[in-house]
Amino acid sequence: MALTSKDILANSGIQFGTSGARGLVEQFTDQACAAFTLAFLSVMKEEFSIERVALGIDRRPSSPSMAAACAAAAADLGVTVDYYGVLPTPAVALQAMQDGIPAIVITGSHIPFDRNGIKFYRPDGEISKADEQAILQAEVEVKSVQSVLPDESARARQLYMERYTQLFAPDLLQGKRIGLYEHSAAGRELNAEVLKKLGAEVISLGRTDTFVPIDTEAVSEEDQQQALAWSSEYELDAIFSTDGDGDRPLVADEHGQWLRGDILGLLCARALDIQALAVPVSCNTAIEKSDLFAEVKRTRIGSPYVIEGMAVLAERFERVAGFEANGGFLLQSAVSMGAAIITPLPTRDALLPALMLLAGSALQGKPISALLAELPERITASDRIKDVPTDKSKALIVSWAENLNAMLESLHLPSEAVSADTTDGLRVTLSSGDIVHLRPSGNAPELRCYAEAGNYLQAKALVSHCLERVNKVINT
């Protein structure tokens, strides 16, 4: 008897996280990839007329073979595959939404090298949590087919480039020296071309053919020191990079100091004159303290929840957006900028916030550090403990949520707890004004810690202290 997608996925060990299906590379067999594709397309066929599907990949060595299995399964179902090769996830999503077709992107984003993932898009945007469950419950017969990749198209690349090069004057960044930390990012050539078309002098940095899992929420000490060195050596106005699939930005100012993603998002939202924002509970409270927005809606962590929040806000506001602590910016509404209009793209995008920051700096004649100085002084730091079983992290957080004093005692925190938020993990505001937020990662067996304080050194020290104490508790 033929296996069904439901049986295969249930036994695969692959799970949906905050951004798509994630698992170990060896779990993404041809059969599992085919099962995901068939289940996804069958769910989409219940609501849409599906004749084509967009497909893209990141630079992980395992991504092409996974994409080939997905393409073969789609073709066996009679669905034509528009294959875009290595491209930023938002570029594939943008083309698919314009064409009114679903999309599949093979990417593990920033997670460790031994893992990979699949992101799914409906014809009208990211799949919802309800869609995820429907995919897992679908029962589609999975047959053995010959895995093959179709010919590659440049349509999505061109559309994504035009989205931003037509938004600004071609001399916008004239005289600016921008370092492009390329590593193994899916959009490294595209990003360089966009910056050059806007007049910037682009200095290529850190290019490699070895996949590098850059986490924009937990920048390594090596990358922090490297940015300082690059900025000094090349006299840069900024450094721009992204995570592996190009939906999370990483930007440094003229001194080589990396910006936190939520601060970058705040500056982008200000530049776009956004009225209402949906952001995860982990984001910096400078967003509210800035008094720039009519409403800020706090959500659980993960783009599906931000998208839900934006949809609610869009019922009452004309200019709505969202972003995450990782810097990925989601645009719910069409926004006019002079004679140009930027269309909605309600999925994480790295290029928009970076360009809006560079544009603001250029047009106002101010360095990036001066734009940062205009914001309320609330600084966030974050880091993580790797290889912590998710069930162990969750159990610890549940116990501390029920007994905040036990948490304060275990972490050796001298302040009292003023309030606690369990929207996603455990976020505790202390009497000192500092904030500690503990949360299991939704994408990997990691425990994340976010800390907010009045200055960077204090926030960084608080994160290091809390993770050191948590590590002792977990391993006791």
**Which residues are catalytic, by number?**
109
* Cα 433 from Cα 458, distance rounded (Å): 12
- Name the residue among 236, 458, 270, 469 with its Cα closest to residue 367: 236
What are the helix (H) ranges across 272-329?
286-289, 303-314
Q: What are phi and psi of 72, to 5 degrees?
A: -65, -40
* Cα 217 from Cα 459, distance rounded (Å): 14
Half-sphere exposure of 116 (CA within 13 A, CB side): 23
Give the count of beta carbons closer than 10 Å to the beta carbon of residue 429: 18
CB 243 within 8 A of CB 350: yes
* Cα 263 from Cα 252, distance rounded (Å): 12
* Cα 257 from Cα 231, distance rounded (Å): 9
CB 469 within 8 A of CB 47: no
- Name the residue among 388, 386, 410, 387 with its Cα closest to residue 399: 410
Structure tokens at 48: 């849409």
What are the helix (H) ranges across 241-314?
261-271, 286-289, 303-314
